[in-house]
C-alpha cells in the first residue's frame, strides 16, 4: 500500500497557516512587556489618580445600580439627584 503523493502537499498547506499564526502570536507576545512598561510610564498611572478613577467608577456603578432598581425614569431627574 503506497502513500499518495498528494499527502505531503496537503500537510504543507495545512501547516503553513498554523506556522504563520504561531509566528504572529510570538511576535505579539514579545511586545507585551514593552507595552506594559509604556502603560506604567504614562501620566495618570500614579496611585492618587488611580484611586480617584476607582472612586469615580464606584459612583457611576452606584448610580447605575440605583437606576436599575427603580421604576422611575432617572433620565428626567435633575442632575444632583438622590433617592
User: How far is it, in rounded angstroms, from Cα 58 to Cα 53?
Assistant: 9
Banded model confidence at residue 19, pLDDT cuts 50, 70, 90:
very high
For residues 8-31, average pLDDT: 89
At 44, list the grid cell: 495618570
* Tens-place pLDDT, residues 22-44: 999 888 877 777 888 888 888 77
Mean pLDDT of the chain: 83
Q: Which residues contact 8 (CB under 8 A, 6 or more apart)?
A: none
Amino acid at each position: 500500500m503506497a502513500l499518495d503523493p498528494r499527502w505531503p502537499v496537503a500537510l504543507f498547506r495545512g501547516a503553513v497557516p498554523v506556522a504563520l499564526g504561531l509566528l504572529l502570536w510570538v511576535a505579539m507576545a514579545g511586545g507585551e512587556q514593552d507595552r506594559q512598561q509604556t502603560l506604567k510610564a504614562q501620566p495618570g498611572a500614579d496611585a492618587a489618580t488611580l484611586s480617584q478613577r476607582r472612586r469615580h467608577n464606584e459612583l457611576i456603578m452606584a448610580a447605575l445600580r440605583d437606576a436599575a432598581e427603580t421604576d422611575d425614569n432617572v433620565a428626567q431627574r435633575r442632575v444632583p439627584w438622590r433617592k
